[in-house]
Amino acid sequence: MNFARLLILDDDLDICLTIKAIAERAGLTALIATDPESFFDHVVSWRPTHIALDLIMPEMDGVEVLSRLADLNCGASIIITSGIDYRVLDAARRSGHEHGLQVSGVLQKPFSPAQLRTLLHTDGPDAAKTQMRAGNAFKPDATSLAAALRDGQVQLVYQPKINCATGALTGFEALARWHHPVHGVTSPDRFIPLAEAHGLIDTLTLCVQEQALTWMQDGLFQEQAGFVMPVEMPLTVSVNISARTLEDRNFAESVMALCDRYSVSHEHIVFELTETSAMADPTSSLDLLTRLRMKGFQLSIDDFGTGFSSMKQLVRLPFSEIKVDKSFVLTALKSEESQAVVRSIIDLGRSLGLRTVAEGVEDQETLALLKELFCDQAQGFHIARPMPPADVRAWMADYAATLA
Ligand code: C2E
Ligand code: CA
Ligand code: CA
């Protein structure tokens, strides 16, 4: 049974009818509204699974409609349409996302039936997607997270980083996953903020570091020794550090003690920092970060280009690496603006003597562009998705074969 329902809002009836015909041919039931009032009535009473929304209408603009849809907690998959500049459409898409809406795409008029059909099927009510939403509906609480940390349910996956110019392996980023016995794998975006808010972040950071160091000594260094593959020395493992952790006065001592215990020298470890602007005590954070650098650890400013990682922090704190935020890298081929941002961040990093890393590299073309821009390192799905430690050996063998 098909239960996909498309609600169309456009003040041009001809366009409504065209969209309706395309949707019905694609197996959806469709309903038309040409004014906002009847549109919102249908949103409430008919509960559409999909919405096609014209951005510019005489009585109300699309941005207002989006914000009212957000107030109504609308879960439909939204397609934004309009005849205006793509940049404005794209800004509206981002605004929808920021309101927590599910915007599946934007269509610049005139669009083809095929373009519309693709978007209608992007978020069809298929089983996998429904399951994912069910997983996302899981609202973790601090008590279960504390238990999960104790029981070893929080584990690391590793995503490789390579040298853009030579393809050589340079290291891995360690990313936390919560393997919940009932709700399955929960992403860090859902439990890191919880850990920060409930005083569990230091426990989490310690748990992550212990796992990463154990893996380096027992896994990574052994695997790498067994392979003849191009690697850049020192091979590094990057761990993410929340700004909160910098309030821990014993952080430097505890991480040095761990490195001693696992016999890992400091130069192999990169601490990635986001939200540097949120550091509670800028002076003591500066002291701590300076000490870490003096002890030989590397420091990376993560998500650079977003509001949280600012130019001021870049200049003030002793970073050794700058990570271009993936939102720019993901769109670098499609958007001139994104490409300009990526290029400027790489140039800035180089002129400050920092290593530059781009994350979110999803295709060969983007990797080629980064090489052209003289970016040092790349990370992303095109190279490999984050993987459990048990899969690293096989990945290395496959990857070495592609380089040979
Ligand atoms: P991040 O540090 O920016 O990590 C990169 C995120 O981008 C990861 O998401 C990774 O899976 C994803 N990613 C990598 N390559 C691609 C790609 O090609 N395309 C796309 N679309 N995404 C890609 P993940 O693992 O969900 O982590 C989310 C965030 O959670 C991280 O963002 C980091 O800020 C935080 N986090 C993860 N592990 C830890 C941890 O152990 N401690 C702390 N404090 N934060 C962590
Ligand atoms: Ca990171
Ligand atoms: Ca990042």
Q: The domain spanning residue 86 has which CATH number?
A: 3.40.50.2300
Q: Is the CB of 302 under 6 A from ligand 1?
A: yes
What ligand is nearest to the CA atom of residue 272?
2
Q: Which domain holds residue 324?
A: 138-403
- Residues 189, 306, single domain; the answer is yes
Q: Is residue 130, in this structure, part of any structural domain at all? A: no
| Cα 176 from Cα 209, distance rounded (Å) | 11
> Quick one: which H or E segment has residue 238?
strand 231-241
Return the structure tokens found at 262.
């696992």
- Residues 223, 349, single domain; the answer is yes
- Residues 329, 398, single domain; the answer is yes
Closest-CA residue to 339 (of 302, 300, 377, 305): 305
Q: Is residue 89, in this structure, part of any structural domain at all? A: yes
Give φ, ψ of 153 to 5 degrees.
-80, -15
Per-residue pLDDT, 109: 80
Return the structure tokens found at 299.
């420091």
User: Which residues does the chain have with pLDDT short of 50?
Assistant: 1, 123-135
- Residues 156, 251, single domain; the answer is yes
DSSP 3-state of 374: coil
DSSP 3-state of 311: helix
Q: Which atom of ligand 1 is nearest to the CA of 189?
A: 30
Tell me the chain's radius of gyration from C-alpha atoms. Answer: 24
- Which of 162, 299, 326 is the pocket-test mutation for ligand 1 (most atoms within 8 Å of CB)? 326
- Residues 74, 20, single domain; the answer is yes
Per-residue pLDDT, 352: 93
Per-residue pLDDT, 124: 44
Q: Cα(52) to centroid of ligand 2, in Å?
A: 35
Closest-CA residue to 124 (of 221, 26, 204, 58): 26
What ligand is nearest to the CA atom of residue 305?
3
Q: Find tokens 């230091």 and name the residue.
A: 202
Task: Out of 67, 101, 125, pick the residue that ends a domain.
Answer: 125
Per-residue pLDDT, 132: 36
Instruction: Give the end-to-end CA distance of the chain in Å, rounded to a whole number.
Output: 51
- Residues 189, 59, single domain; the answer is no
Per-residue pLDDT, 239: 97
Per-residue pLDDT, 254: 93
Q: Which atom of ligand 1 is nearest to the CA of 159?
A: 14
Per-residue pLDDT, 308: 62
Task: Out of 100, 125, 150, pick the residue that ends a domain.
Answer: 125
Q: Which H, E and C letters describe 82-98, residue by residue? A: ECCCHHHHHHHHHHHHH
Q: What are the residues facing 129 on neighbouring strands?
A: none
Beta carbons within 10 angstroms of residue 290's beta carbon: 13
- Residues 34, 160, single domain; the answer is no
Q: Is residue 131, in this structure, part of any structural domain at all? A: no
Q: Is residue 132, in this structure, part of any structural domain at all? A: no
- Residues 95, 199, single domain; the answer is no
Q: Is the CB of 176 under 6 A from ligand 1?
A: yes
Q: Is residue 160, in this structure, part of any structural domain at all? A: yes
Q: Cα(303) to centroid of ligand 3, in Å?
A: 4
Environment of ion ligand 2 (residues, CB < 5 A): 240, 272, 302
| Cα 115 from Cα 291, distance rounded (Å) | 54
Q: Is the CB of 189 under 6 A from ligand 1?
A: yes
Return the structure tokens found at 311.
């130019």
Per-residue pLDDT, 221: 78
Closest-CA residue to 39 (of 77, 75, 19, 66): 66
Task: Out of 90, 125, 160, pick the residue that ends a domain.
Answer: 125
- 10's CB contacts (< 8 A; 6+ apart) are 16, 19, 34, 52, 53, 54, 57, 81
Per-residue pLDDT, 131: 36
- pLDDT, tens digit (0-9, with 9 covering 90-100), for 314-325: 888 899 999 999
Return the structure tokens found at 367.
């990797």
Q: Is residue 200, in this structure, part of any structural domain at all? A: yes
- Residues 184, 278, single domain; the answer is yes
- Residues 113, 157, single domain; the answer is no
- Residues 144, 183, single domain; the answer is yes
- Which of 240, 362, 387 is the pocket-test mutation for ligand 1 (most atoms within 8 Å of CB)? 240
Q: In 3-state terms, the chain is what percent helix, strand and coil (to 5)?
A: 50, 25, 30
pTM: 0.74
Q: Is the CB of 123 under 6 A from ligand 1?
A: no
Return the structure tokens found at 399.
């990857």
Q: Which atom of ligand 1 is nearest to the CA of 303?
A: 3
Per-residue pLDDT, 220: 78
Q: Is the CB of 326 under 6 A from ligand 1?
A: yes
Evaluate the omega torsion of the peptide bond into residue 234 and state whether it is cis, within 30 degrees of 0: yes
Q: Cα(370) to centroid of ligand 1, in Å?
A: 20
- Residues 98, 42, single domain; the answer is yes
Q: Cα(173) to centroid of ligand 2, in Å?
A: 7
Specify the residue with its C-alpha closest to ligand 1, atom 10: 386
- pLDDT, tens digit (0-9, with 9 covering 90-100), for 140-197: 899 999 999 999 999 999 999 999 999 999 999 999 999 988 888 999 988 998 998 8
Q: How many domains does the chain have?
A: 2
Q: Cα(301) to centroid of ligand 3, in Å?
A: 9
At 44, which amino acid appears? V
